[in-house]
């Protein structure tokens, strides 16, 4: 076993502790130092992640954790996404009393997400789940408003229920197999009682669906996106999905063929993407609309999970889509962060004339979430739909295409006022639109990454 297999996770964990301790002693005017410390921690974690990918795959800690290509990709994507969120935070929490706590909780939750992504044992998965979930409750409630408190309570209650579900599922699977490692579960579960086996599997899956923000544990997502600080909302709707979906992919892949879980996951994927799209139709608050949008995106991300082991495209399409979704979603939320006083769709009227770069970034990110070429999400949706077709689930492919078309309407409800032609004398109707520099840079960077990722797919596609 190579030394420091968990080096990227250790770097993030050490960074979170350093940020928390530093923030406890620094005066408010110097809390920017904690952002610099967090950036250094992310830089170290990124370097260690790249080194781990180059070093090849390795199963460590008696087979309970794997550092393979999938783990490496998620590590890099998480680090890049959180780094962009530090730019978003420059106007959202900079100089506030909650600045250090925000960075510390983000890094701590990211550590849990990475542990989940490489877990090959239910007990390790449980540790990662708790480490990713508990800081998330604090992130939602940092805003200290009535709405944030309500969202934090809803997130906590659903998260606690999901944690109990994961623990109970682990106990049931351990009871019928005598093991918790995935390798042992593959050997032992085939001869297990079907009733207990099915109950244990469903309980574990439901817990991971909470982290992914998918049906039936999605209720917290739109409330958290609307009520939490925009930096926290960006994190909560992006990073937990990365580890949860990969953890679900690994778990489904070790189950015996007697468990019809891929079919269940496919049905949940369709229900998630459809519900998310339909619920977004009536939203006027931009952040709540994005919250429901992330629910629908969770449905698309579940498609490769439904065909694990049935299509050679499943893993590669999932990894590419995770990266594409992360940068695109961060870009959309960054625009909302750049315009903190503009919460309604109608508030964006005239943005293209006054802030063309920000409006252009918004256009790219929203059309990217639809799945419009040449963005990276288009490639992600195309390959996941192809994987579903290749896995003999043509109805799932049709659901991806139809829901992508369905989502175009509510994204256009945001795009149309943004690019509406407003007479110069009409500025008095909307006022001078001021944007934060950090979030604007993050939005433009994410939009550029989305286009570059889509155009250069042939070079970066994981093989």
Q: Over the stretch 444-461, which tens digit does the pLDDT of each residue have?
A: 999 999 999 999 877 766
The Cα–Cα gap between 339 and 359 comes to 11
pLDDT of res. 429: 37
- Structurally, the chain folds into a number of domains equal to 2
Following DSSP, what letter does each residue of 291-336 receive, concatenated? HHHHHHHHHHHHHHHHTTTT-TTHHHHHHHHHHHHHHHHHHHHHHH
pLDDT of res. 108: 96
Residue with the bigger pLDDT between 253 and 233: it is: 233
Are 239 and 362 within one domain?
Answer: no
pLDDT of res. 432: 45
Are 358 and 242 within one domain?
Answer: no
Are 138 and 243 within one domain?
Answer: yes
Length of the chain in terms of residues written: 463
Are 181 and 113 within one domain?
Answer: yes
Q: What is the mean pLDDT of residues 24-51?
A: 89
pTM higher than 0.75, yes or no?
yes
Are 252 and 270 within one domain?
Answer: no
Range of the domain at 271: 260-463
- Sign, CA torsion 450/451/456/461: positive
434 pLDDT band, cuts 50/70/90, is: low
Q: What share of the chain is helix, strand, coil (3-state, %, to 5)?
A: 80, 0, 20
pLDDT of res. 194: 77
The Cα–Cα gap between 76 and 239 comes to 11
Share of the chain above pLDDT 90, in %: 70
Are 243 and 330 within one domain?
Answer: no
Question: How confident is the model over 118-131, as pLDDT tens digits?
Answer: 999 999 999 999 99
Q: Give how far Cα 127 sits from Cα of 118, 397, 415, Å.
A: 12, 34, 41
The H-assigned helical ranges of 93-145 are: 99-118, 122-141
pLDDT over 80 at 365, yes or no: yes
- Sign, CA torsion 223/71/2/187: positive
The Cα–Cα gap between 285 and 409 comes to 15
The Cα–Cα gap between 62 and 120 comes to 10
pLDDT of res. 90: 86
Last residue of a domain, one of 242, 259, 276: 259
Are 324 and 246 within one domain?
Answer: no
Are 321 and 435 within one domain?
Answer: yes
Are 327 and 215 within one domain?
Answer: no
Following DSSP, what letter does each residue of 185-249 receive, concatenated? HHHHGGGS-HHHHHHHHHHHHHHHHHHHT-TTS-THHHHHHHHS-HHHHHHHTTHHHHHHHHHHH
Are 265 and 230 within one domain?
Answer: no
User: Nearest Cα to 240, choosing from 398, 373, 82?
Assistant: 82
Last residue of a domain, one of 210, 228, 259: 259
Phi, psi angles (nearest 5°) of residue 431: 80, 170
Region of poorest pLDDT, from 245-259, 327-341, 387-401: 245-259
Distant-in-sequence, close-in-space partners of 220: CB < 8 Å, separation ≥ 6: 151, 154, 155, 158, 159, 210, 213
Are 241 and 283 within one domain?
Answer: no
Last residue of a domain, one of 238, 259, 280: 259
Are 51 and 85 within one domain?
Answer: yes
Tell me the β-bridge partners of 59.
66
3-state secondary structure of 174: helix
Query: How deeply is 264 buried, as exposed, middle or buried, from its count of CB atoms within 10 A (0-12, 13-18, 19+)?
Result: middle
């Amino acid at each position: 076993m190579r030394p420091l297999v968990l080096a990227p996770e250790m770097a993030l964990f050490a960074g979170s502790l350093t940020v928390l301790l530093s923030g406890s002693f620094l005066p408010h005017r110097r809390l920017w130092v904690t952002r610099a410390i967090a950036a250094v921690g992310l830089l170290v974690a990124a370097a260690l992640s790249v080194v781990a990918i180059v070093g090849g795959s390795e199963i460590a800690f008696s087979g309970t954790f794997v550092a393979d290509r999938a783990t490496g990709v998620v590590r890099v994507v998480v680090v890049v996404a959180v780094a962009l969120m530090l730019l978003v935070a420059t106007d959202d929490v900079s100089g506030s009393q909650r600045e250090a706590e925000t960075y510390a909780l983000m890094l701590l939750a990211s550590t849990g997400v990475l542990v989940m992504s490489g877990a090959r044992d239910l007990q390790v998965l449980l540790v990662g789940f708790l480490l990713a979930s508990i800081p998330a409750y604090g992130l939602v409630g940092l805003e200290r408003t009535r709405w944030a408190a309500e969202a934090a309570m809803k997130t906590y209650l659903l998260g606690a229920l999901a944690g109990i579900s994961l623990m109970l599922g682990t106990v049931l699977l351990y009871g019928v197999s005598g093991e918790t490692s995935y390798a042992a579960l593959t050997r032992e579960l085939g001869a297990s009682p079907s009733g207990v086996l099915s109950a244990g599997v469903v309980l574990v899956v439901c817990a991971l669906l909470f982290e992914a923000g998918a049906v039936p544990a999605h209720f917290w997502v739109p409330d958290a996106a609307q009520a939490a600080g925009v930096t926290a909302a960006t994190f909560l709707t992006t990073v937990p999905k990365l580890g949860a979906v990969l953890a679900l992919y690994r778990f489904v892949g070790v189950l015996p063929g007697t468990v019809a879980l891929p079919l269940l996951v496919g049905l949940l994927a369709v229900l998630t993407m459809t519900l998310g799209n339909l619920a977004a139709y009536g939203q006027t608050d931009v952040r709540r609309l994005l919250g429901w949008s992330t629910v629908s995106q969770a449905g698309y991300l579940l498609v490769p999970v439904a065909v694990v082991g049935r299509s050679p495209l499943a893993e590669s399409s999932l990894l590419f889509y995770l990266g594409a979704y992360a940068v695109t979603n961060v870009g959309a939320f960054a625009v909302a962060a750049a315009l903190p006083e503009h919460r309604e769709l109608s508030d964006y009227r005239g943005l293209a004339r006054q802030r063309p770069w920000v409006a252009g970034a918004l256009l790219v990110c929203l059309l990217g979430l639809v799945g419009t070429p040449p963005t990276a999400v288009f490639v992600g949706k195309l390959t996941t739909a192809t994987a579903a077709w290749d896995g003999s689930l043509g109805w799932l492919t049709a659901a991806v295409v139809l829901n992508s078309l369905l989502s175009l309407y509510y994204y256009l409800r945001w795009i149309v006022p943004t690019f509406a032609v407003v007479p110069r004398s009409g500025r008095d109707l909307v006022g001078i639109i001021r944007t934060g520099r950090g979030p604007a840079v993050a939005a433009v960077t994410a939009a550029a990454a989305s286009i570059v990722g889509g155009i250069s797919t042939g070079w970066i596609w994981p093989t």
